[in-house]
Amino acid sequence: MSAPYQDALSSLPIFADLTDAQLQSFVAQFDTVKATEGWELFAAGSEAHHLDLLVSGRVSLYEGDDEVMRLRPPAIIGELGVLTGVRRNTTARAHDGTVLLRVEREKLMAFLEGSGELSFRFCQNLLGVLSDKINRDKRRIDEMRNRIIATQKDMKELRELVLGSHETPISKPVDDFLETNIGRNRRVNYTIVPPSTLPAAVRTKAGQTHNVWAISRTGVLLPAAAAIRGADSFQGVLVLPDTEIPIDGTPRVDGDSVHIELNLLIEEYVAHLEDYLTRAQILDVVV
């Protein structure tokens, strides 16, 4: 590794406290990749098979067709995905003249397994980087929650104004709209993604099992293949780690997913679902 690269990479938090020799040993596992304009490092939703270090040029991150960030060197790209198996959240494309250092996941993991002190320091630094990201995300989530609470309050006041005013042709549509959105924003309707340690699935009447993509007290999100397109109703079994719950409801297909709006469950099943949601939500709380 050339001296300019080493000096630049040593400034990254994930390499903090590594000696020059350790950093050289680490980066020696990487191959140099020269990218042209528009070259795709990875696509959103793909598995993380490699880790990249940006040492020259620019890399843009996209959500759909929208550029959300432009990375400049030095930067590490994809450290969480390659070490944990989390799928890519964005699509990354290089600009002309970009130079990357790349290592495949298997080679990186084998190197870390055989490098005791270096591996410990690297993973400790990674935890520090993730902790900073979590704290920043928490601040943004707190801001969004406060805005939702304020919006919810404003909608309730507006609904009271509509109900207390002289009725007009738009009174009922406005009231229905406000009532629907007030109900949707209630905490009871918050949706979670089942964590890997507490998976959830739905077994259809045809005997097929599909992983649940998201779940709340009022609905589940499944791949579209789980429901018959155009069907007016859905019946199946919600398979949780400790129990199974018969469910039925109204399906709404949207692209590659289907949302099942659940009909009322009996009290016993409500308790089981509440217990599962609580256990899953606890995993999202950092204490």
User: Average pLDDT, stretch 48-58?
Assistant: 93
Is 119 within a domain? no
Is 128 within a domain? no
8 Å CB contact between 247 and 214: no
Which pLDDT band holds residue 110 (cuts at 50, 70, 90)? Answer: very high
Q: Are residues 207 and 169 in the same domain?
A: no
- Report the number of distinct structural domains present in the chain: 3
User: Average pLDDT, stretch 234-250?
Assistant: 93
The CATH number of residue 223's host domain is 2.40.10.220
287 pLDDT more than 90: no
Could you list the residue range(s) of the whole structural domain that residue 35 is in? 3-114
Q: Are residues 146 and 179 in the same domain?
A: yes
Give a three-class secondary structure readout of 111-169: HHHCCHHHHHHHHHHHHHHHHHHHHHHHHHHHHHHHHHHHHHHHHHHHHHHHHHCCCCC
2 pLDDT more than 60: no
Q: Are residues 139 and 215 in the same domain?
A: no
Which pLDDT score is estimated for 111?
Answer: 93
Is 124 within a domain? no
Which pLDDT score is estimated for 238?
Answer: 95
185 pLDDT more than 70: no
Q: What is the DSSP-derived secondary structure letter of residue 192?
A: B
Averaged pLDDT score across all residues of the chain: 87
Q: Are residues 99 and 63 in the same domain?
A: yes
Instruction: Give the model confidence (pLDDT) of 27-43 as tens digits.
Output: 899 999 999 999 999 99
Q: What percent of the chain has pLDDT over 90?
A: 39
Q: Which residues contact 52 (CB under 8 A, 6 or more apart)?
A: 33, 41, 76, 77, 78, 100, 101, 102
Is 236 within a domain? yes
Q: Are residues 143 and 101 in the same domain?
A: no
- Greater confidence (184 vs 122) lies with 122
Q: Are residues 23 and 48 in the same domain?
A: yes
229 pLDDT more than 70: no
d(CA 45, CA 257): 15
Predicted model pTM: 0.60
132 pLDDT more than 50: yes
284 pLDDT more than 70: no
Q: Are residues 54 and 88 in the same domain?
A: yes
User: Average pLDDT, stretch 98-127?
Assistant: 91
Is 194 within a domain? no
User: Average pLDDT, stretch 7-34?
Assistant: 88
CA distances from 42 to 73, 222, 228, 232 (A): 18, 25, 33, 39
- Which candidate, 98, 114, 110, 129, places its Cα nearest to that of 32? 98
Is 192 within a domain? no
